[in-house]
Amino acid sequence: MAAGAVFGVGLIVTLATGHRAQALARNTQHAVAGQTAGLGFKLARVHVQGASPMAEQAILASTGLQLGQPILDIDLEAIRKSVEGVGWVQDAQVVRLLPDTVVVAVRERQTLAVWQNRGRTMVIDAGGRLIPEADAGRFPQLPLIVGEGANEGAARILQAVNSRPRLVERLEAIVRVDGRRWDLRLKDGGLVQLPAVEEESALIQLDQLDQRQRILELGFERIDLREPGVVAVRPRGAPLPGEPLASGGA
């Protein structure tokens, strides 16, 4: 009866002011929600499904929900859009379970790598997009990619590198060079230079050398694979071109 009385008042106000059906529906919804809240139809629980513990707090905050608010007055579509604005979230569904529960089910983006660029360290997903809420310091297990535009081609180069366990266990970082090609920086300080095209062919060549001669264990300062079919190596401490072989002497 109380809800019906409020509906009547809303209708009179709407007709008197010239508002249209949309305003009438909105007033009616608020009125009914307010009345039913007194009957127990108010928010008591919010469940987040499909999210990791690190993502859950950011998702909850994005909903803007408050315990005790009328559950029938909650705009589920607005909440869905807000949740999908969280970097962790690929897509979401929001469901109201009467009398007092809202369920937020998400599909979370999969972390791919830590990207270091211009003094910033960020977590990216498989599409190279940033996950702003992710603290890169909490993902030491992710591979490190470095340089301008490295995020855009990260998935492809990581797929090629990750299929080679002996290389992965020695890898410190993958560095984008001039937006064209990659260098593989090794934990022992060595550098593997890949070509701008046919990276897979160069990695196959590196595999074959490593199987036959254990080239990754020999401690070269540089392994240059930039020229197709050619492998150039530089031992540690070898002079650079134009550098004197020795200095001083009697």
CATH code of the domain in which 61 resides? 3.10.20.310
Residue whose entry in the numeric block shows the structure tokens 């080679």: 164
- Give the chain's domain count: 3
Same domain, 73 and 134: no
Same domain, 116 and 92: no
Same domain, 117 and 215: yes
Same domain, 223 and 202: yes
Same domain, 163 and 213: yes
In a domain, residue 157? The reply is: yes
In a domain, residue 193? The reply is: yes
Same domain, 70 and 160: no
* Residue 140 confidence (pLDDT): 95
Cα separation of 89 and 109, whole Å? Answer: 6
* Residue 240 confidence (pLDDT): 55
Query: For residue 102, what is the enclosing H or E element?
Result: strand 101-108
Same domain, 160 and 82: no
194 three-state secondary structure: coil
Range of the domain at 30: 1-39
Beta bridge partners of 184: 174, 192
Amino acid at 99: P
* Residue 33 confidence (pLDDT): 47
Cα separation of 128 and 229, whole Å? Answer: 31
* Residue 241 confidence (pLDDT): 58
* Residue 153 confidence (pLDDT): 92
* Residue 102 confidence (pLDDT): 98
Query: What residues have CB less than 8 Å from 214, skipping those under 6 apart?
Result: none
Same domain, 142 and 209: yes
* Residue 237 confidence (pLDDT): 73
* Residue 236 confidence (pLDDT): 83
E-only strand ranges, the chain: 45-49, 89-97, 101-108, 111-117, 120-125, 144-146, 171-177, 181-186, 191-193, 222-224, 232-234
Query: What residues have CB less than 8 Å from 202, skipping those under 6 apart?
Result: 194, 195, 225, 228
Same domain, 115 and 230: yes
Query: What residues have CB less than 8 Å from 42, skipping those under 6 apart?
Result: 68, 69, 70, 71, 100
* Residue 71 confidence (pLDDT): 96
Residue whose entry in the numeric block shows the structure tokens 């599909």: 107
Mean pLDDT by 10 residues, the chain (250 residues): 41 43 49 54 96 95 96 96 97 97 97 97 96 95 97 95 94 96 96 95 94 92 93 80 44
Same domain, 116 and 199: yes
